Amino acid sequence: MVDTPILQVTAVDFVRNGNPILSDISLTVRAGEHWALLGPNGAGKTTLLKMAGAFEHPTRGTVEVLGKRLGRVDMRELRTSIGHVDPRHTLPYPLRVHEVVLTGLTNTADLQQRWTPTAEQIVEADRLVELLGLAHRRDARWPTLSQGERGRALIARALMADPSLLLLDEPATGLDVAGREQLIDRIDRLQTAHPELASILVTHHLEELPPGITHAMLLRDGRTIAAGPVDEVLTSENISTSFDHPIRLTRTDGRWQVRTDRTVPA
- Pure H helices in the chain: 45-52, 75-79, 97-102, 119-131, 147-159, 177-193, 230-233, 236-243
Q: Do 240 and 185 share a structural domain? A: yes
Domain housing 153? 91-161
Average of per-residue pLDDT values in the chain: 90
pLDDT tens-place string over residues 91-105: 777 889 999 999 888
Q: Which of 106, 135, 161 is the last residue of a domain?
A: 161
Q: Do 193 and 66 share a structural domain? A: yes
Q: Do 184 and 55 share a structural domain? A: yes
Q: Do 219 and 146 share a structural domain? A: no
> How many CA atoms does the CB half-sphere of 244 hold within 13 Å?
6
Q: Do 101 and 225 share a structural domain? A: no
Taking residue 118's Cβ as centre, other Cβ atoms within 10 Å add up to 9
Share of the chain above pLDDT 90, in %: 71
Q: Which of 161, 180, 196 is the last residue of a domain?
A: 161
CATH number at residue 192: 3.40.50.300
| Count of structural domains within the chain | 2
Task: Give the residue-averaged pLDDT of 70-92.
Answer: 84
